[in-house]
Structures are given as C-alpha cells and as structure tokens.
Structure 1
C-alpha cells in the first residue's frame, strides 16, 4: 500500500508542477508578473516554486515538493497567510481563476488544479 501511495503523491507533484508552469506562462502573456521555477526532473524528486504579483506589493508563492505543498501570501514583505496541503491547492485554484478572469483569459486556459 505505501509504495502505491508514494507513487500517487509523486504523480500529484508532477501534475502540479506542469499546471504551475502553464499558469505562469498564461499570466505572463497577459502582462501579469508571474514565474515558475522548477527543480529536479520527472524521474527524480521534482518540485517547483510559483510566484505571482497579484497587486501592488501583494505576492503569492506556491511551493510544491516531496516534502509538502504550501501557499504563502504576503504584502509589503510581511506574511499574511500560510496554508498547507489541500487548503493550499484550493487557494491556488481560487486565485488562478480570479487572476485569469481579471486578465480576460478564457476559462478553458485555466490549468486543472483541483
């Protein structure tokens, strides 16, 4: 059972990394400051850091790795919110939809994060 769960988690991480890359590219094309930095390879342990500016000095950072998944929101360098696991994924999806609606991107361009 444990090897199957580990493989499922690795698959989730890979899906999240691909979705974060697509989201960053889509937001950049709409003029929103966003970046996704990836470490590792698909065969190795992979992780990513996604960062987007959602307002004046208002940043979100989504980190995904073998060690966990987290969401950090900050304004003027001060941490406002930190979420972990499923809550972090839910908040990323909510913000991705909001940013893409504001940028006028079609809903079909939103990567599946749920």
Structure 2
C-alpha cells in the first residue's frame, strides 16, 4: 500500500512540474518575469522551483519535490502568505485563474495553458 501511495505522490509531483513549466513559459511570452527550474535526484525523484514577478514588487514562489509542496507570496521583500500541500496547489490555480480573467497581458493565456494548471490533482 505505501509503495503505491509513494508512486502516486511522485506522479502528482511530475504533473505539477510539467504544469509549472507551461505556466512559466506562457507568462514569459506575455511579458512577465517567470522562471521554472527543474531538478532530479536520479532515483525517479523530481522537483521544481517556480518564481514569478507579477509586478509592483509582488513575487510568488512555488516549490514542489518529493519532500513537499509550498507556495510563498511576498511583496516588497516581505512574506505575505506561505501555504503547503493542497492549499498551495489551490493558490496556484487561483493565480492562473486571476491571470486568465484580469489584465491585458493575462487575457491572452490560452485555455490549454489554463487547463494544464486547472487539471492538477487536488
């Protein structure tokens, strides 16, 4: 049973990594500063660090690995919010939805890009 759960978690991490890459790419195309660094430990472990500058010194960072999932939001260098696990994934979805619904640069996110983020496991 535990082996199956570990494999399911690795699958969630893999899905998140792919979605973060797609989100960073789409944000860059629309003029935002966004990066997604991928890391692998060589034993089927994978993770990513996603950072996006949403303007007005508003930064978000999403970390995912075999060790956990976290969301950190800051403004002017001060941490505003730190979430982990499912709450972090929901905040990532909220940001993607906000970008889809607001702003000139954000309105051109394609439905495919938004759906990649929206389909993350909950």
| Residue 113 of structure 1: how far off its partner (Å) | 2.7
Counterpart selection for 2:111 from 80, 99, 107: 107
Which structure 1 residue ranges, 5 or more long, are not aligned?
A: none
| Residue 107 of structure 1: how far off its partner (Å) | 2.6
Number of residue equivalences: 114
The 3 A distance-change label for structure 1 pair 43 and 29 is farther
Residues 22-41 of structure 1 aligned to structure 2 (within 5 Å): 22-40=22-40
Is the contact made by 1:54 and 1:99 (CA closer than 8 Å) also made in structure 2?
Answer: no
Q: Who is 2:84 aligned against?
A: 84
Which structure 2 residue ranges, 5 or more long, are not aligned?
A: none
Is the contact made by 1:27 and 1:100 (CA closer than 8 Å) also made in structure 2?
Answer: no
Is 41-50 or 73-82 further displaced after alignment?
41-50
Whole-angstrom CA distance in 1 between matches of 2:89 and 2:43: 23
| Residue 41 of structure 1: how far off its partner (Å) | 6.3
TM-score between both structures, scaled by the size of structure 1: 0.92
